[in-house]
Amino acid sequence: MRFFMRWIRFVVFFLSGSLLLTSCNDTANHPDTLTKGVIDISADETFQPVIEEQQRVFDSSWPDAKITIHYKSESECFKDYFENKARIILVTRDLSKPEKELCTQKNIYPSALPLAREGIAVIVNNESVDTIMDFQELKGILTGVYKTKHTVVFDNQSSSTVRYIVDSVLKGDSLGKNVFAAKGNQQVVDYVMKNPDAVGFVGLGYVSDSNDPGNTGAFVKTIKVVHLLNETTKEFLQPYQAYIALKTYPLTQTLYYINRESYPGLGTGFANFLAGQRGQLVFFHSHLFPIRSEMVIRDAEINNK
């Protein structure tokens, strides 16, 4: 059976320079600078594959910098931020109004910036026939009322993925008794791979094929990635980079950094790197859409048999 899928190819023609996010404060009394020192940061575990690559590239450029990244649920990242256990956090939302008020109370002067956009992949076992879904079907599976019984698996009960799905898909309805939490995104993939009735929700980095030579956004072969209906265009789409960029893939979220440094320290240096040319390229090659870059978008047709 032949079908045509609309595909958009990205070509980077210009990458913005690093955003120098510094304070006017003197750095003489601080132990770290933009490119050296020792700090801890916390990052949403959903983005671990791409952040590990970012750290590898950053470390290769600045050997005097030692950044320890703790991968946690999003709620734990915010807890670390307000308890001053992390200079910078990488999460999928900006500070809320009450959180900004709390920053004022604690004399924290935050800076935040969106860095990249990612798609949440809905995955099923290779034996599953439910590989094309609209939102009504997806909602039925999540609430446990779908015609076919499924076990739904998330990475963590307090993760950004759960929060997003509850807010954007369920919109007030409750998750069913068929929904469970694993101990991370990779564990979700492993569970779905072994269980024919499983449906999992994971970050794109956990199902992207790292051996894809053309950086085409191919997925791993151990599971299937579901096509979701865009109710506006009436297309069934997978979380390819092109559809994430245009927000036509229905489940997309944005990665932010939130920095609490009051001087140009190593947290600011890492934030600059993520927002700058090399960091944005790392996001691009990891199949996320880099928000801080300029892109050319082209239309093409891919013929699948």
Together in a domain, 43 and 110: yes
3-class secondary-structure state, position 13: strand
Q: What is the pLDDT of residue 30?
A: 79
Together in a domain, 94 and 49: yes
Average pLDDT, the chain: 88
Q: pLDDT by residue (tens digit) across 156-177?
A: 999 999 999 999 999 989 999 9
Q: pLDDT by residue (tens digit) across 188-210?
A: 999 999 999 999 999 999 998 87
Q: What angle do CA 229, 234, 239 make, to 5 degrees?
A: 40
In a domain, 216, yes or no: yes
In a domain, 192, yes or no: yes
Q: What is the reported pTM?
A: 0.86
- β-strands 179-181, 252-259 pairing: unpaired
Reported residue count of the chain is 305
In a domain, 300, yes or no: no
Q: What is the pLDDT of residue 299?
A: 59
Q: What is the pLDDT of residue 231?
A: 93
Which has the higher per-residue pLDDT, 166 or 3? 166
In a domain, 301, yes or no: no
In a domain, 112, yes or no: yes
Are 124 and 130 within 8 A, CB to CB? yes
Q: What range does the domain containing 131 cover?
A: 118-252
Together in a domain, 234 and 129: yes
Cα–Cα separations (whole angstroms), residue 45 to 52, 76, 81, 169, 288: 11, 10, 15, 21, 15
In a domain, 40, yes or no: yes
Together in a domain, 50 and 141: no
In a domain, 82, yes or no: yes
Together in a domain, 128 and 246: yes
Number of domains in the chain: 2
Q: What is the CATH number of the domain that holds 160?
A: 3.40.190.10
Together in a domain, 124 and 214: yes
- Dihedral pair phi/psi, residue 159, rounded to 5°: -85, 165
Together in a domain, 85 and 42: yes
In a domain, 305, yes or no: no
